Amino acid sequence: MSLSVVILAAGKGKRMASNIPKVMHCLGGKPMLSRVIQTAQLLNPEKIHVVYGNGSSDIPNFFPQAKINWVHQNEQLGTGHAVMQALPFCNDDEQLLVLYGDVPLISAATLQQLFSVAKIQNNVGLLVAKLSDPTGFGRIIRDAHHNIVAIVEEKDATPEQRMIKEINTGIVTAPVSLLKKLLPKISNHNAQKEYYLTDIIALSVKHDHSVAGVIAADLMEIRGVNDQWQLVTLERDYQQYCAKQLAYNGVVIMDYARLDIRGDIIVAPTVQLDVNIILEGEVKIGAGSKIGPNVCIKDSIIGENVSVLANSVIDGAVIENHCIVGPFAHIRPDTILKTKSKIGNFVETKNIILGSNSKASHLTYLGDSHIGENVNIGAGTITCNYDGANKWKTQIGDGAFIGSNTSLIAPITIGKNATIAAGSAVSKNAPDEQLTIVRAKQEVIKEWKRPVKKSKTEMN
C-alpha cells in the first residue's frame, strides 16, 4: 500500500499576534511548515497535500520548487473538515498520514514506525504520548483490554477522563478508503462546534477497524506551537538537543545555551565552539577548527584547523585548511581563502580568491579580486572595484607586496613580486619585480595658519 501525506496548515494562529502565517514562523532557522514538508519527503510518499487558507493564500509562494498539491480550505471547520478537502485527490488504495504544519519536530523514524504498524494490520495508526500534565490535550480512552476505543477532547471530557495522562498527538494514519467512508459521518456536536478528525477513532472501532497506538518516545517531537512563547521555548529545547548531538559526536561546546543552529550543519569531532556562536544555513566545519566567541557563520565551508577569532562574520565563503580569520573580520559571499591564508581584524572581503600563505592583517577592503600566493596586503588597502555602475576586477600576482594605505583602482593588474609603495593610488598596471610609487609631490605651505574657532558674534 502506497503512502500519501496531508499536512494541515490552515489554522488562524491568532495567538501568534503576527501578520506572518503561523506555520511560516521559523524554528531553528527554518519555517515550521518547511520542516514538516522535509520530514514528509523522507517517507517517499506518492503525494504530499498541504491544506492551507484563512488569510494565508500566499503560503504556496514560499515553496515554488516543492512538488506539493496545495489544497485551499475556504472555511476552517475543524481538522476533520480540513482532511476532507484533500481526500478527493487521494486514491482509495493509499494509506494517508495526517501531519500538522505547527508540529515541526516530528521525526521520519517515528512516522515510519507508525505507518508500518498500521500498514501491516491494515488499520488506523495513532501516535500517542504520556504526559505528567495533559492539560489542553485530547485524552485516549481505552477499554478493559487496553484497546484504544475513542478520543475525548478536553473541553468535552468528564472530570474522570481529564485525569487520564495518555494524550492524542493528532498524528494519525488510516486507509484512504476508510477515511472516505467515515469522515462524512462525523458531526460538530461538541464544545467547539467543529468536525474533529479524532472522531474517526471511535467510528473506526465501531466499524471493526482496530486502532494501533504508537507511543512517541521523544515528547519534543509532538509539541505544537500556538503562540510566541511556545515557539521560543520549543526553540530553546531544540537548540539544546542539537548541541547535545554535537557533543556526543565529539564537538567541544563551551556553553550549549549560547549556541544557535539555524540550518543544516556538519561539524567534525574535535571542533571547538566558543560562546554566542550562530551557525546558519548550510555550514560545514572541519576537524580541529576553533570558532571564537560572538561569531556568525552562514552558508559556508570551514576547513580543518581553521581559527575564526572573536566577533567575525562569515557568509557564503570557503575557508580552506589552516587559515586564520579575524578578530572582527567580515567575510562576504564568494570569498575563497586558500590554505594558510589570513584575514585579520577589521578586514572585509567580497568575491575574492586569496592565495595560499597570503595575508591581509588589518583595516582593509578586498572586493572582486584574484590575489596570488605569498602576497602581503598592507593596512588600509582598498580595492576600488566599483565605479558607480559596474564592478571591476583586481589581479595581484604571487609574491606581491602592497604597502599600507594603498588604493588599487580597478580594473588593474599588479605583477608578480611587484611592490606598491605605501600611500599610492594605483590606476595603471604595475610591472613584475618593480617598485611602483604613485604619490603627489610633498609640499610645505610656509605662510599657512591653522584655523581657529570663532565666536558666535564673529560668525554673524
For the annotated catalytic residues, the residue numbers are: 362
Which secondary structure element, helix H or strand E, spans residue 260, and what is its range? strand 259-267
Neighbours of 205 (CB within 10 A): 19
- Concatenating the DSSP letter of every residue in 299-346 gives S-EE-TT-EE-TT-EEESEEE-TT-EE-SS-EE-TTEEEPTT-EEEEE
The answer to whether residues 350 and 335 touch, using CB atoms and an 8 Å cutoff, is: yes
Q: Which helix (H) or strand (E) holds 83?
A: helix 79-86
Residues 6+ apart with CB under 8 A from 82: 8, 10, 51, 73, 76, 197
SS (H, E, C) 428-443: CCECCCCEECCCCCCC
Query: Which helix (H) or strand (E) segment is 456 a member of?
Result: helix 456-459
Cα separation of 387 and 303, whole Å? Answer: 34
CA 102-45-167 angle, 5° bins: 40
Note the Cα 124 to chain centre separation in Å: 34
